């Protein structure tokens, strides 16, 4: 079995959409309203990825995929801070997403994606990476903590289908 992490291409959009939607449904079951998760659509998700890649609007975002024996089994991306809390943190970027097919969790795919993303961010001149995670998502929080991230005290509310879901921000220094 061989795994590699590489830049995402237009040909990966369908697989990435399946991973993202499946990842949300797996990771957020019981944490987000089921009606919201059920309404997620892989075709729409793939079309969104395609349009961003084709339009070049994803130029500031680094998207990578993990392949296991030629099959795309994970996806992650980071880019500029999205401006929550009016943060102006020079040298900081934001991890937007990291998802692995549930059957490949705990196989090293997530750690390989994280290593690639943090390495690319460091090579791009970023000194710090931030991310947001659902406060009650214990599995994801353990993953991020093992990857060197720690909560930095910032919190916000994610409103989804009229429910308020708390999130916490994590940060990690990328340079010594």
**Full-model pTM:** 0.91
Torsion angle of the four alpha carbons 23, 16, 98, 112, in this order, in degrees rounded to the nearest 10: 120
pLDDT of 57: 57
Count Cα atoms within 13 angstroms, Cβ side, for 134: 17
| SS3 per residue for 44-99 | HHHHHHHHHHHHCCCCCCEEEEEEECCEEEEEEEEEECCCHHHCCCCCEEEEEEEE
What are the pLDDT digits (tens) for 34-74? 999 999 999 888 888 888 777 765 557 889 999 998 899 99
Average pLDDT over residues 28-32: 94
The neighbour count for residue 36, using CB atoms within 10 Å, is 16
What are the pLDDT digits (tens) for 90-149? 889 999 999 999 887 778 899 999 999 999 999 999 999 999 999 999 999 999 999 999
- CATH level 2 (architecture), domain 3-131: 3-Layer(aba) Sandwich (3.40)
Model confidence at 86: pLDDT above 60: no
pLDDT of 51: 84
């Amino acid at each position: 079995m061989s795994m590699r992490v590489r830049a995402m291409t237009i040909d990966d959009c369908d697989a990435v959409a399946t991973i993202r939607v499946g990842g949300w449904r797996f990771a957020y079951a019981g944490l987000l309203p089921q009606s919201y998760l059920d309404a997620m659509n892989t075709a729409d998700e793939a079309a969104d990825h395609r349009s961003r890649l084709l339009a070049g609007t994803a130029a500031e975002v680094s998207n990578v995929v993990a392949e296991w024996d030629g099959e795309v089994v994970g996806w992650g991306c980071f880019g500029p801070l999205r401006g929550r809390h009016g943060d102006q943190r020079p040298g900081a970027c934001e991890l937007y997403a990291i998802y692995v097919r549930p059957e490949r969790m705990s196989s090293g795919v997530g750690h390989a994606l994280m290593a690639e993303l943090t390495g690319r961010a460091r090579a791009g001149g970023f000194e710090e990476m931030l991310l947001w995670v659902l406060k009650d998502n214990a599995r994801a929080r353990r993953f991020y903590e093992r990857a060197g991230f720690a909560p930095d005290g910032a919190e916000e509310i994610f409103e989804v289908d009229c429910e308020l879901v708390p999130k916490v921000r994590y940060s990690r220094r990328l340079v010594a």
